[in-house]
Amino acid sequence: MKDDPEQLEHFLPLTPAVFSILLALAAGEKHGYAIMQEITRSSAGALRIGPGTLYRSIKQMLAAGLIKESGDRPDPALDDERRRYYRLSGLGRRVLAAEAERLARLVSQAQAHGLLRPANRPSIRGAQ
Amino acid sequence: MNRPALPHNRLLRLSDALYGALLHAYPRAFRREFGAQMAQTLRADCRRVQAEQGLPGILGLWVLVVCDLAATALQEHFSQEVQMSRSTFVRVAGAAALLGGALFALSFATHPQGLARAIVPASVASLIIGILGLHARLWGREGRLGGWGFVLVGLGLALGLIGMGGSALGILQPNPVALIINTGEHAGLVFIGAGLLLWGLVTLRERALGRWSILPLLMGVLSLSGIVFLVPVAFRALEKSAMPEVFGLSWMLLGLALLTSRANPASRPTQVAAA
């Protein structure tokens, strides 16, 4: 399904918490604590969100249709069956991509103004 | 051998009990929906931090938790208040539009005299409240198109209120600027039409009034017929036709739509951005 680009723009900019949660769910469905761990891991501990911010964001993203609660439950022997799992919706994935593009444009502008040197880009260096 | 672990377990139980009590800082609906998950998440995080960093880690985690809880509990209370007061206002405005439309149609059907003529400005005042209700329903989703619609409709209704108020109270009769005010009042109908046309497009795009979403667009087309005020004979014929009653009826339907339709939660991107 294609979205009106203007409609996607309505969601932007995302807060760091919402962006990070969507990013954490991009790899697959997760429960709240797994999302929290993924955010801490991927930001190398620079971004830590508390349970309040996590579930308040989840509530708003559910209402906006960016994420969905997953109906699938893991084997109770492997995980706590009371845990609720969340996954990205199609809209959520498109909004996440739009935000990533917006941030990439900002990074390009910062580079054009000489604010970012190659040494400040560990992810790019690491990818080479 | 289990003895050294007991204080740690006690610490986790204490943390659990304290967080369970602090969760009451959140609004009840939020707590019911997410409280158990939040407590479960903190419990798991506490276990990890305790294993990795011991008591200092737990204390550090609790500093984050308390700050997070204070900020998000306040935000959640505030957003629920705003949402509740906005939906209440939309319903009040719906009732006002219903009343305003009925008074408007009644005034044209019965041509009231004397003090009863006050129902004319009263009807327009009610319609203004009604239009503010539609504005509240579209809040955050209007965009530039809706912004212009609001300006045009507001201007049109203000001109209508001034003209109809002056005319009803008889203060325009000996007034040399009566012609200007009357012209403004008639032009006001056209402003309302143009504004509702823009709002109609936004309402349709957002499905903001559910199955009634087409209504503002139809009302816009209807109001634009007021452009015939440029030809006085045609405008007088329009006033004598059933058009004013239909106009009033359309506002009554808008009032019903505001009263009965529900906000579409899937179209609230601004809340996500503000999370």
Distance in angstroms (rounded) separating the CA atoms of residues B203 and B270: 17
Contact A65 B69 (CB under 8 A): no
pLDDT digits (tens, 9 = 90+) for B40-54: 999 999 999 999 988
Q: How confident is the model at residue B270 (pLDDT cuts 50, 70, 90)?
A: very low
Distance in angstroms (rounded) separating the CA atoms of residues A1 and A55: 28
pLDDT value of position B268: 43
Residue A78, SS3 per DSSP:
coil
User: How many Cβ contacts (< 8 angstroms) between chains A and B?
Assistant: 98
How far is residue B191 CA from its own chain's centroid? Answer: 21
Q: How confident is the model at residue B190 (pLDDT cuts 50, 70, 90)?
A: confident
Find chain B residues with C-beta within 8 A of A32's C-beta: 37-38, 40-41
* pLDDT beyond 60 at B2: no
* pLDDT beyond 90 at B19: yes
Considering only alpha carbons, which residue of chain A is nearest residue B25?
Answer: A52
pLDDT digits (tens, 9 = 90+) for A40-67: 999 998 889 999 999 999 999 999 999 9
DSSP classification of residue B115? G
- A31: which 2 tokens? 């429960």
Task: Please give the radius of gyration of chain A, using alpha carbons only, rounded to the nearest integer.
Answer: 16
Domain boundaries, chain A: 12-127
Distance in angstroms (rounded) separating the CA atoms of residues B79 and A60: 11
Strand pairing report for A67-69 and A85-88:
antiparallel
Mean pLDDT over B177-198 rounds to 80
User: For chain B, where are the alpha helices, taking DSSP H only?
Assistant: 5-22, 28-110, 119-137, 143-168, 178-206, 215-224, 232-240, 243-260, 269-273
Q: Which of A60, A82, A86 should one mutate to test binding to chain B, selecting the residue with the greatest count of B CBs within 10 A?
A: A60
Q: Which of B41, B52, B63, B69 should one mutate to test binding to chain A, selecting the residue with the greatest count of A CBs within 10 A?
A: B41
ipTM, 2 decimals? Answer: 0.83
Judge: domain A12-127, CATH 1.10.10.10: yes
Cβ partners under 8 Å of residue B172, min gap 6? B163, B166, B178, B181, B182
Distance in angstroms (rounded) separating the CA atoms of residues B180 and B168: 16
pLDDT value of position B160: 79
Crossing angle of helices A90-112 and A16-26, rounded to 10°: 120
Q: How confident is the model at residue A23 (pLDDT cuts 50, 70, 90)?
A: very high
Distances (CA, A) of A68 to A85, B72, B155: 9, 22, 43
Distance in angstroms (rounded) separating the CA atoms of residues B40 and A41: 20
Contact A50 B30 (CB under 8 A): no
Contact A53 B72 (CB under 8 A): yes
Q: How far is A119 from chain B (nearest CA, A)?
A: 31
Q: How confident is the model at residue B170 (pLDDT cuts 50, 70, 90)?
A: low
Strand pairing report for A85-88 and A30-31:
antiparallel
Nearest to B199 by CA among B228, B156, B259, B252: B156
Q: Is B82 at the interface with chain A, CB within 8 A?
A: no
